[in-house]
Structure 1
């Protein structure tokens, strides 16, 4: 285990944890307009992926990368994600209104929403999302089908982030960092599995 450097309080293992929290806070701020949420999460995954290559995983690097990449495709991806979330919420609200066949419809809508969320989140973790969302989404859909265990891990990461945010509301501003780390880890896991 590497020794602490002079003036270092926690040691090298805690440095990544602190970086993940700072990137999470930066992601929460960048994603507040909602249309920028996919680009914000994709950038967080890119910054954390760079930590494997000894690049700094800091909020400063995050905002520099985000500033260089925001484009019309990122806003279109955000609009599509927002429209999908609103459609799912409306469908579930209608199912809760007591319409005939509502229980079956609610389960079907929730399953479709979960699948769409997995593909969207896995797309954010892919390097292609920095330049081409269509390629990222098609590759993420293929990964979601071929790597069911990774898709389950993505759902668990989302459930954990939502549960932590619900239990302690201030954690909602830090949750995107650990979520981005989990998405990046699932993508790296998939990449390693496909090479072996």
Structure 2
């Protein structure tokens, strides 16, 4: 036979459990004693998710984690200057090709090889554009992508296509080297 003390204990444990489980998933007001230790609460924007990471691009939970493959590596200052010098050599060639309406990979490759670059071992790579999903199918747009590894931590990344061209410097991407990876999802 249960004693009145054990019944009261069971009721108390049950009440605490119900209150704890009932609070799951609910937003709570900012606690002035929690967080950075400054003693002041940082109010959230109305309707803002409490699960957003600092610096998250579109505000989605796990944005930074899901997009880590799209972040470039760090370049040393000296290697960044070297990459900028090479970008300055490549830019007028791509501009000329764009103005002439020549943006196929073979033509772009030939023009860049004339500057003395070598293909292979990750040095110079010229390839077709990444396919894009449009009108319920994948299409590969006309144009060429250029990746030049100036140093292991420094790249020149460029493209030329019908609508425009671009040349920039960046560190390598974790999975695709000098080329900016396409979006995964």
Indicate whether the TM-score tops 0.5: no
Indicate the structure whose relative CO is greater, using CA pairs within 8 Å and at least 6 residues apart.
Answer: 1
Instruction: Give the TM-score taking structure 1 as reference length.
Output: 0.27
Structure number with the higher helix fraction is 1
Rg larger for: 2
Structure number with the higher strand fraction is 2
